Structure 1
């Protein structure tokens, strides 16, 4: 059977939480629950690094504004991870060219990352922090559930992932106004910090001239 549905689903999940995908695949492969996982993802060093980074993301992803900074840093990491995992899965299966699998996994990860990052920007425009925690937990559980489901029912999982991706893109369009508001607030804060810093430097600067007082 073609590995394409599994590649697509892993790409979608990588755009949400790339470290969770690597960790889950590695654990399932190392424990013998499935033979679909490449040996490269089962290595102990890969599992340890993925586990540590997953814990870091689990914390950062639940803190308002920190999550958006984390997302910005991972704009490249998540698509690359999706592409690498897709290529590895294709190499393991042999039913799909690795380059094509990498393109599918990477592009799908990029789209789901855009949905995740944009949604977080919109959520961060609200004053309370609880929505961040709830959304982050839902994403973590969703990734874990769909990746597990995909290993045993890849086609059905791909349909679910595709549906969630389309719904996410539609919601992102409706949230565009809140995202623009978030970006304006962040720009205003940067400008305020710049003005405060400039005022502090001006206040600390020694007076020029000959020191005579003018009335």
Structure 2
């Protein structure tokens, strides 16, 4: 059977939480629940690193504005992880070329990453922190559920992941006006800090 549905779903999940995907796939492989997971993802050092980074993301992802900074840092990490996982899965199964699988995994991860980052920007326009926490938990549960489903039922999981990606893009487009306000407000704060720093340098006043 083609590994493409699993590559697509893991790519979508990597765009949301790459470390969770690596951790889950590694655990599934180590416990013998599937033969689809390559040995590289089952290594102890890889699992430990993924677990530590997953815990870091679990905290950062629930703090307003910090989550957007974290997303910005992972604009390269998540698509790259999706591409690497896709290529490794293809090499393990032999039913799809590494280049094709890497392209599918990386592109899907990039798309879902932008949906996640855009949604968080819109959420951060609200001062309360509870929406961030709820969204983060929902994303983590979604990633865990879909990756698990993809191991045993890859085609239904890929269909769900594709549907979530389309819905997510539509939501980001709808919320784009809020996202633009968030970006303008953040740029304004940076400009105010820069002007304040310049004023302190001119007057010799101590930093506040």
TM-score range, shorter chain: over 0.9
- 1:180 matched residue in structure 2: 180
What are the residue-to-residue correspondences of 1:84-103 with 2, within 5 Å? 84-103=84-103
User: How far apart in 1 are the matches of 2:14 and 2:170?
Assistant: 20
2:6 aligned with 1:6, yes or no?
yes
User: How far apart in 1 are the matches of 2:88 and 2:202?
Assistant: 57
- Cα deviation, residue 34, structure 1: 1.1
User: How far apart in 2 are the matches of 1:127 and 1:15?
Assistant: 25
Where do 5+ consecutive residues of structure 2 fail to align?
none
User: How far apart in 2 are the matches of 1:126 and 1:181?
Assistant: 11
User: How far apart in 1 are the matches of 2:105 and 2:74?
Assistant: 15
What are the residue-to-residue correspondences of 1:100-115 with 2, within 5 Å? 100-115=100-115
- 2:45 matched residue in structure 1: 45
- Cα deviation, residue 184, structure 1: 0.4
Deviations 1:156-206 (A, max 9, x none): 00000000000000001001000000000100110110111111111118x
- Cα deviation, residue 81, structure 1: 0.2
User: How far apart in 2 are the matches of 1:204 and 1:167?
Assistant: 53
- 2:141 matched residue in structure 1: 141
- 1:22 matched residue in structure 2: 22
User: How far apart in 1 are the matches of 2:25 and 2:86?
Assistant: 12
- Cα deviation, residue 136, structure 1: 0.3
TM-score, with length taken from structure 1: 0.94
TM-score, with length taken from structure 2: 0.98
User: How far apart in 2 are the matches of 1:137 and 1:193?
Assistant: 33
User: How far apart in 1 are the matches of 2:92 and 2:123?
Assistant: 39
- Cα deviation, residue 46, structure 1: 0.3
User: How far apart in 2 are the matches of 1:110 and 1:25?
Assistant: 19
Q: Which runs of 4+ in 1 moved over 3 A?
A: none
- Say how many residue pairs are matched: 205
Quick check: which has more Rg, 1 or 2? 1
- 1:70 matched residue in structure 2: 70
- Cα deviation, residue 11, structure 1: 0.2
CA RMSD of aligned residues (A): 0.7
User: How far apart in 2 are the matches of 1:182 and 1:31?
Assistant: 44
Deviations 1:21-69 (A, max 9, x none): 0000001100111111100000000000000000000000000000000
- 1:32 matched residue in structure 2: 32
2:126 aligned with 1:126, yes or no?
yes
Where do 5+ consecutive residues of structure 1 fail to align?
206-215
